[in-house]
Structure formats: C-alpha cells, structure tokens
Amino acid sequence: KARDVPSTSHTIVPVAQTSEINVRIQQAKNFTVAQAQQEGCTGNFKIFYSPFGNFLVPVIPTSKELAG
C-alpha cells in the first residue's frame, strides 16, 4: 500500500541575481557612452530609461550652474 504523504506546494520563480542585473546595466551604460564618444559627442549627457528604450540626452547647464 502506498503511503500518504502530505502535499507541499512550492512555487519556484527564477530570479536573476541583483549583482548580475547591475553589471548588465553598467555594461549597457558603458557601451552607450563609448558609442556617443565615437560619434563625436562631447560634454555632459545623461542616460535615462523608458519602456521604448534607452536614451542618451545632452545635459545643458543652467546659468546658475555656470556661474557657480
């Protein structure tokens, strides 16, 4: 006769390690900066993320920032 064993349910969800995700994000940022520099971009710029992709935009300092 088979023994009745209490059923336990475990849901296993594969989750990437946080450090692995951070490394991939940093690699993407480095690639973006290198690509912008190869295309002749100089100065300051900021990377931001949206549902449509990653964007690199120039950062234009305010007159207060330039004076200070």
- Mean pLDDT per block of 10 residues along the chain (68 residues) reads 54 65 81 81 74 74 79
| Beta-carbon contacts of residue 29 (< 8 Å; ≥ 6 apart) | 47
Distance CA 53, CA 48 (A): 9
- Comparing CA positions, the residue from 23, 28, 43 lying closest to residue 57 is 43
pLDDT at 16 (0 to 100): 59
pLDDT at 39 (0 to 100): 82
Cβ atoms of residues 53 and 40 within 8 Å: no
Domain positions in the chain: 18-67
Distance CA 30, CA 24 (A): 10
pLDDT at 62 (0 to 100): 79
pLDDT at 11 (0 to 100): 60
Q: Could you tell me the two tokens for 46?
A: 């900021």
